[in-house]
Amino acid sequence: MSAPTPPERIRLARRQWLDTGTVASGLIAGPLQASWARCRDFGLAPEGRPQGAPHASAAQLARALEHRHALMAHARPVMAFLNQQVQGSDSLVLLADAHGLLLHAAGDDAHFADRAARVALRPGAVWSEQWRGTNAIGTALAEGAPVVVHAGEHYLARNGFLTCAAAPIADPAGTLLGVLDISGDRRGYHRHTLALARSGARMIEHQLFLDRFRAGLHLRLHAQVEGLGTVTEGLLALSEDGWVTGANTAALELLGLTRPDIGAATVERVLGLDVRALLSLGTAPRALPGGAGAAPLWLQLEPGQTLRRSPLAPVARPAPVRCTTDAAWRPQDALSALDTGDAALRALLARTRKLLEKPAIPLLLQGESGTGKELLAKAIHTSSARRDKLFVAVNCAALPETLIEAELFGYCPGAFTGANRHGAPGRIREAHGGTLFLDEIGDMPLAMQARLLRVLQDRQVTPLGGGAAVAVDFRLICATHHRLKDEVAAGRFREDLYYRLNGLTLSLPPLRERSDLDELVARLLKAEAPERALRVDDEVMGLFSRYRWPGNVRQLANVVRTGVALLDDGEDVVTAALVGDEVRDAPEAASLEPASAAPLSGELRQLAEAHIREMLAAVGGNVSEAARRLGVSRNTLYRRLRG
Ligand SMILES: Nc1ncnc2c1ncn2[C@@H]1O[C@H](COP(=O)(O)OP(=O)(O)OP(=O)(O)O)[C@@H](O)[C@H]1O
């Protein structure tokens, strides 16, 4: 489905389909026919309107955007760039998540945007095949491949004015994250549009890869030496013992691999060279001879920080690393690395350690936003015997209610959005053998709480659409900034589930109550610049110890990071001049309340809300940036805006 079906053929095919429910063989491409068949199975009528299609509310969309903030951060500039390329051609550049939920649109043509909005082609709508029939976004998700869906190829006649080209975006571990799509008026069809969408998707994947693996051992690959270091290069991440732990689509294509090879293939199998041989090549570009008459493949080694320390030290690790954290390379385990001297935290870590190898006891992490709940959950996972299995994190506040069920429990083919025609196992099954981290559990809808309770009782999960129950074994860690007991009392959280989740409650102290600020600051400075002996001066330490830190360690880490970034060359001391105004001159009342506090009332709430809106306006609506500057989490920011 990379070129449109000629108009007379598609007209004939549609007529046959409407009359007989089949199309003469060879009249339209096989994948298009397969997609139409799926739409029929979903019960869609070609001449009808989508019935009951979900649409995310503004708050749900905002949460979904936050959930995908890394994807969004890299997609926005690429979408703006693509928009420039297609300007004046009656089109829109769209980004959807892996469920087909439209996250963002870029386009200047108000007239076309208006027509698109009339068929719900706008952020918040879900464009999976199940709801919208054959369309580039839904079909690219179902096929896992780039597609063009032109005019009458759209299953629903009402979408026939469109021509759309879409390419999937995968994360470096091979998981489908979403789709980049260019949709326009069908009269403006251009055969290069698909290439444009594919290039955009590649650019985003390139950045996502570097975000994750820049500091680790990786290879740059290209058919031409000049291509190394550009966004068109292939990128392959390797563990110290030679397993392929990540790749972008360009690398998979260059090496003839598929996504399931990530985590399952060794570099020796792929390139015929083991890690030692690769390291002995050095860091200059090298040509690897192609087989019989084939062109050579250029590669360039990026040794990363881990191997720079001990280039050829033999390592014996049984399996590819599937969940890495900074702490993985420290001599101590990740759990002890969290101990920076505060007595309450130390006691909490000691209790946690006792339960490390007792995965049947669920842990409930409570604490204000930014106190390190997720960090603790990851540390428990990587310090336990489950470390080689997956740590699966689900933010229950970030997904629209309509999608959370499928995301968690999985679905059978045809049962849900058609994000994958083979169905999807769901996050609970992905965590089998590993750890399931349910963040913001207090925001889980009641109906979902009942299903989760059943899974915990039966230790098996049944996918949507009536598949067979599958046994699951996972360590459960939940986190919340709410006091769950209060939520139970208010009828918003099931009491039976509360007792199921609460094997042990661990309450992380807010930063203002911790006694280890000095050590924490020292660690954060070290993390920012491991080779430098940085420090903050006494005045800064004084400011830090008086400040209330509504955003806790997250905020402190951001303040330290900014201070370090502002240092002049050769400068090693962070002074008060380099510390943001919010810490230097914050009047207590104007700082936002900690996330776990009761809702603000009256004037104070208006003040906080006005403050947030001003900040949002100042940063062009970028919620992450506004939250960072205000020193609160994104979740807190949404809560405050919702009142
Ligand atoms: N002890 C710590 N050392 C270094 N960084 C920390 C520590 N605790 C938290 N952080 C940093 O603070 C940030 C927030 O941590 P984390 O996401 O674990 O908090 P959280 O309590 O789960 O927040 P939220 O409730 O808003 O999701 C992260 O960037 C994390 O790296």
Q: State in Å, rounded, how far the first CA of the chain is from the last one.
A: 47
Closest residue (by CA) to atom 25 of ligand 1?
369
pLDDT of residue 57: 87
pLDDT of residue 313: 32
Ligand 1 closest atom vs CA 377: 18
Residues of the chain with confidence (pLDDT) below 70:
290-294, 305-332, 402, 413-423, 586-608, 620, 622, 624, 628-629, 631-643
Ligand 1 closest atom vs CA 340: 1
Q: Three-state SS for 416?
A: coil
Closest residue (by CA) to atom 4 of ligand 1?
524
Closest residue (by CA) to atom 9 of ligand 1?
372
Closest residue (by CA) to atom 24 of ligand 1?
369
Pocket test for ligand 1, best of 339, 441, 554 (most atoms within 8 A of CB): 554
Q: Homologous superfamily of 326-507 in CATH?
A: P-loop containing nucleotide triphosphate hydrolases (3.40.50.300)
Cα R_g (the chain), whole angstroms:
26
Rounded Cα distance, 558 and 62, in Å: 22
Beta strands 460-461 and 470-471 are antiparallel
pLDDT of residue 88: 81
Q: Three-state SS for 218?
A: strand
- Taken in order 233, 181, 100, 421, the sign of the CA dihedral is negative
Classify 214-308 by CATH class: alpha beta
Cβ–Cβ < 8 Å for 60, 141: no
* Residue of 444, 492, 79 whose CA lies nearest to 455: 444
Q: Specify the residue for token string 């990786």.
A: 218
Domain with CATH 3.30.450.40 in the chain: 58-203
Distances (CA, A) of 404 to 151, 521, 592: 32, 37, 30
Q: Which residues contact 117 (CB under 8 A, 6 or more apart)?
A: none
Ligand 1 closest atom vs CA 481: 25
Tally Cβ neighbours within 10 Å of residue 183.
30
Cβ–Cβ < 8 Å for 186, 5: no
The two tokens of residue 104 are: 């963002």
Cα 551 to ligand 1 centre (Å): 9
Ligand 1 closest atom vs CA 367: 21
Cα 527 to ligand 1 centre (Å): 14
Tally Cβ neighbours within 10 Å of residue 449.
20
Q: Which residues contact 602 (CB under 8 A, 6 or more apart)?
A: none
Q: Which residues pair with 183 in a beta bridge?
A: 92, 164
Cα 556 to ligand 1 centre (Å): 10
Domain with CATH 3.40.50.300 in the chain: 326-507
Ligand 1 closest atom vs CA 524: 4
The two tokens of residue 384 are: 């336990």
- CATH 3.50.30.10 at 519-642, yes or no: no
Q: Specify the residue for token string 């169905």.
A: 423
CATH number of 58-203: 3.30.450.40
Which strands form 147-150's sheet, in the order they lie side by side?
Answer: 102-106, 91-97, 176-185, 162-170, 147-150
* Residue of 439, 310, 303, 313 whose CA lies nearest to 366: 439
Closest residue (by CA) to atom 16 of ligand 1?
372
Burial of 614 (C-beta count, 10 Å sphere; 0-12/13-18/19+): exposed
The secondary structure of the chain in percent helix, strand, coil, rounded to multiples of 5, reads 45, 15, 40
**Does an H or E element contain 236, and which?**
strand 234-238
- Ligand 1 residue neighbourhood (C-beta within 6 Å): 338, 367, 369-375, 439, 479, 481, 553-554, 557, 633, 635
Cβ–Cβ < 8 Å for 516, 508: no
